[in-house]
Chain A
């Protein structure tokens, strides 16, 4: 079974530029999450999708961050414009209802550096 795919793996941009990340969850997984992991911290949830609907985006900085999952499969997370404090690893995870326990499968992440 293929895991959660993310691209790009690394991205370096200057502040005020825009950037987009892509995630393809495990096939059949209806729930998709985007997390932000700042160096030395644990992951922090940005947004949770159930199919193509948003379940929780309470911690998403909506003035600059946006995310979509139009067809309920893959998803994109965009930052526009980026700030220095957005430097972090952006993790995507997927989960299927009914699977054993709380197994969220994480992708390898996209490491963003904002200069």
Chain B
């Protein structure tokens, strides 16, 4: 079945540093999504991407839909303590009614 490989699994960075994480799939996706999950909460959508090559920003977050349609990345600039959490990539292979598949997440830790 479809799988998403998300890396790195965890990151320890200094406050103020930039962060980059990525996601690759074994098959083509038509939609890429990036979520953030904090302890005791459900995931919250950060950015949605619908076209190959699309680059979208949400504040300090920027995500891109890879040209091959098999990968996506998320960048966070100038990290702050509230960026701590687990970031999940997710994808949808076909139409909007198809199920979303999630990666295993990147756990972001920020050192003071």
Write the residues of chain A forming the contact surface with B, with a CB cutoff of 8 angstroms. 4, 40-45, 48, 55-56, 91, 93, 101-104, 106-109
Query: Does residue B100 face the partner (Cβ distance < 8 Å to A)?
Result: yes
Which segment of B43-51, B66-74, B76-84 sits at the interface? Answer: B43-51
Bound CA–CA A45/B42 (angstroms): 14
**Is the pair A101, B90 in contact by a Cβ cutoff of 8 Å?**
no
Which one of B31, B44, B92, B104 lies within 8 Å of A106 (CB-CB)? B44
**Is the pair B42, A107 in contact by a Cβ cutoff of 8 Å?**
yes
Q: A101-B48, A106-B44 are in contact. Are A40 and B31 (CB under 8 A)?
A: no
- Cβ contacts under 8 Å, A44 to chain B: 102
Name B105's closest neighbour in chain A (CB-CB): A42
Which one of A40, A91, A109 lies within 8 Å of B104 (CB-CB)? A40
